[in-house]
Structure formats: structure tokens, C-alpha cells
């Protein structure tokens, strides 16, 4: 087994997802993942704190880049436009590999503890967005509402994207969901 072979993190992620799909998350051990990836369990722990983090290790990058996009948006942008800019950054990170996203989503939806963790990560992201909006001078209530709305838009867009058989891009799914929201708010 190669100790520091290039691409070990990617191989570990791929091995873990495939094993989770084949045997279930609970039945898959770190040693199984490491063996499938051709590395040691010790190498696994250099990349991931535990077997759940294979599914959630991008959370910090997603938060960092989405907040950077929010902060870089034009000064006069509305709260929802700021959230949309943040979600565009999220799409840039997650939207590059729909098959990977589908596998990850399937594994998470099959396990109650993972679904809970996904919701916690989404709530943390929503809180971070609301805080970012407040730093830009958006009032508390508006910041909270815009961030929660963005979270709902993202969840709907993500589900649409992973379920789509065509060439729908995650960014397009987010744009469509925002457009759908605007249509809903215009109806009486």
C-alpha cells in the first residue's frame, strides 16, 4: 500500500462512497475504505477525521467561498442578490460533478444520522450567510429571512439538479429556483 501516493484523498472519497452504496454507511469500516483505496487506515485519518467527514469535508470551503462571494458583490445589491451570489459560489464547488453529488446524496438520504448532519451543516451555512449579510448592513430580520430563503432555494435547486437526467447545471437550477420564487411572490 502506498503511503503518500498522489490522489489518495480522491481515492479514499471514491472508495468510501462506493462502499457506502454497496454495503451501507454503518456496515462500512475505515479499514474497508483504506483497503479499497490502496492505502493504510492511518493514511485515511490524515485526510478525514472519521468516515462521516468523507461526505462533509467540503463544508469549510463552501462556507469560505460563499462568504467571499457575498462580500465581493456590488454594494447596492439586495439581500437576495447577495445570497444568490453566495449560492453561485457554492455551485462552483459542488456543481462540477453531478455523479459524485448523486452518490453522496443517496448515501446521506439512506441514513438518519447523516441526514441530521447534513441539516446541521446547512443550518450552519445559513447562519454564516445571515451573519455575512448583517456585516454588509442588512438588518437582522431581513438578513435572517434572506439567508433562510437562500437555504430553501438551494435545497430545491440541488434536488432538481441531482434528479435531472438532462444537462441541467447546478447554477441554472439555482437561477430557475430563484425565478420560481419571484413568480410565487407575485401571485396573489
Looking up residue 38, the CATH number of its domain turns out to be 1.10.10.60
Alpha helices in the chain (DSSP H): 8-23, 30-37, 41-47, 53-56, 59-72, 79-94, 98-109, 112-135, 140-163, 170-186
First to last CA, the chain: 64
- 3 state DSSP class of 29: coil
CA dist., res. 72 & res. 142, Å (int): 19
Q: What is the pLDDT of residue 5?
A: 59
Between the CA of residue 160 and those of 1, 51, 180, what are the distances in Å?
40, 27, 13
If asked whether residues 12 and 99 sit together in one domain, one would say no
- Does residue 95 form part of some domain? yes
Contact 35, 48 (CB under 8 A): no
**DSSP secondary structure code for residue 123 in this structure:** H
If asked whether residues 68 and 153 sit together in one domain, one would say yes
Sign of CA dihedral 140, 142, 147, 148: positive
Q: Give the pLDDT means over successive 10-residue stretches in the chain (188 positions).
A: 68 96 97 96 95 93 95 94 96 91 95 96 96 96 97 96 89 94 82
| Angle made by CA atoms 34, 98, 78, in degrees to the nearest 5 | 120
If asked whether residues 105 and 45 sit together in one domain, one would say no
Q: What is the pLDDT of residue 186?
A: 86
- Domain span including residue 92: 58-186
Q: What is the pLDDT of residue 86?
A: 97
Q: Which tens digits make up the pLDDT trace of 28-82?
A: 999 999 999 999 999 999 999 999 999 999 899 999 999 999 999 999 999 999 9
- Does residue 107 form part of some domain? yes
Measured in whole angstroms, how far is the alpha carbon of residue 46 from the centre of its chain?
A: 22
Contacts of 9 (CB under 8 A, 6+ apart): 47
If asked whether residues 119 and 80 sit together in one domain, one would say yes
Q: What is the pLDDT of residue 138?
A: 96
Total of domains in the chain = 2
Closest CA to 118 of 173, 59, 64: 59
The percentage of the chain sitting over the pLDDT mark of 90, rounded to a whole number, equals: 86
If asked whether residues 90 and 29 sit together in one domain, one would say no
If asked whether residues 138 and 169 sit together in one domain, one would say yes
Amino acid at each position: 500500500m502506498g503511503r503518500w501516493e498522489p490522489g489518495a484523498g480522491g481515492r479514499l472519497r471514491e472508495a468510501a462512497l462506493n462502499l457506502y452504496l454497496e454495503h451501507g454507511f454503518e456496515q462500512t469500516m475505515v479499514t474497508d475504505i483504506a483497503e479499497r483505496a490502496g492505502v493504510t487506515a492511518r493514511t485515511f485519518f490524515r485526510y478525514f477525521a472519521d468516515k462521516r467527514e468523507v461526505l462533509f469535508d467540503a463544508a469549510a470551503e463552501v462556507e469560505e467561498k460563499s462568504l467571499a462571494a457575498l462580500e465581493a458583490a456590488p454594494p447596492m445589491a439586495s439581500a437576495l442578490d447577495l445570497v444568490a451570489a453566495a449560492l453561485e459560489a457554492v455551485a462552483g464547488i459542488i456543481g462540477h460533478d453531478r455523479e459524485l453529488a448523486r452518490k453522496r446524496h443517496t448515501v446521506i438520504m439512506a441514513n438518519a444520522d447523516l441526514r441530521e448532519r447534513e441539516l446541521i451543516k446547512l443550518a450552519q451555512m445559513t447562519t454564516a450567510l445571515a451573519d455575512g449579510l448583517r456585516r454588509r448592513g442588512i438588518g437582522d430580520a431581513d438578513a435572517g429571512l434572506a439567508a433562510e430563503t437562500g437555504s430553501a432555494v438551494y435545497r430545491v435547486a440541488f434536488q432538481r439538479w441531482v434528479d435531472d437526467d438532462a444537462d441541467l447545471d447546478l447554477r441554472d437550477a439555482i437561477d430557475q429556483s430563484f425565478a420560481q420564487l419571484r413568480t410565487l411572490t407575485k401571485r396573489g
